[in-house]
Chains A and B, each alone.
Chain A
Amino acid sequence: ETGVTQSPTHLIKTRGQQVTLRCSSQSGHNTVSWYQQALGQGPQFIFQYYREEENGRGNFPPRFSGLQFPNYSSELNVNALELDDSALYLCASSPTSGRAQETQYFGPGTRLLVL
């Protein structure tokens, strides 16, 4: 069974640029959640995707957006990058039936540095 994978592992961008991060969910999981983890802090929930639609969102501005594909993989897009967007971005997948949510399993993360 393949776990959650994310790409790339590391990324450097400059302020104002746009970035796309990718996540492949664990086999059999149809729900993907994204988190941002700043240095020294716990992960913060960005949003969740289920059935290719955003299913819940944390306190993040609209320049954070996402997609989910029919194979349940997902992308996180961040526009107009700011220095404070530098963080570890984590993807988690879970098997979900309707709106019932099961245990989330995390990928290794993508470390983004904005200069």
Chain B
Amino acid sequence: DAKTTQPPSMDCAEGRAANLPCNHSTISGNEYVYWYRQIHSQGPQYIIHGLKNNETNEMASLIITEDRKSSTLILPHATLRDTAVYYCIVKVSGGGADGLTFGKGTHLIIQP
């Protein structure tokens, strides 16, 4: 699986949009981009995933660049409960039995 690069930490004001970047310059054509978050001492929570088109669900939006080498997770109206470590993971969906490869993620801190 391709590796990802994320900033170690970010701050965002409550009520504003939080934009979390991720670089995955070695991503291959059959690899999806997944985002998970982990609130302190809890299990990771699935947020969203996509292949090449932008995706939106009730939690967030995922913007993938046309060359697929980077992506941005957008939390449209951040709340204090969105403070967590956010992991960007690239993974083949379909075939293979490898687990998810977590990096160090981005520690997002929402400021009141």
Give chain A's interface residues, CB within 8 Å of chain B. Answer: 4, 33, 35, 41-48, 50, 55-56, 58, 88, 90, 92, 99-109, 111
Contact = CB atoms under 8 A, between A and B. Distances in A.
B97 A55 contact: yes
B44 A106 contact: yes
B68 interface: no
Contact of A42 (B94, B98, B105): B105
Interface of B: 34, 36, 41-46, 49, 87, 92-105
Nearest to B95: A99
Nearest to B48: A103
B87 A56 contact: no
Contacts of A90: 43-44
8 smallest beta-carbon distances between A and B, as pairs? A45-B99, A56-B97, A42-B102, A106-B43, A55-B97, A100-B94, A106-B44, A43-B102
A43 B105 CA distance: 11
Nearest to B89: A42
Given A43-B44, A106-B44, A109-B43, A99 B96 contact: yes
B55 to A, nearest CB: 12
Nearest to B97: A56
Nearest to A41: B104
17 contacts: A35-B99, A41-B104, A42-B105, A43-B102, A44-B102, A48-B97, A58-B99, A88-B41, A90-B43, A92-B43, A92-B44, A99-B95, A101-B93, A101-B95, A101-B97, A106-B44, A108-B42
Given A42-B102, A42-B104, A103-B34, A50 B43 contact: no
A4 B46 CA distance: 13
Contacts of A42: 87, 102-105
A56 B100 contact: no
B32 to A, nearest CB: 9
A43 B87 CA distance: 10
B97 A99 contact: yes
B49 A48 contact: no
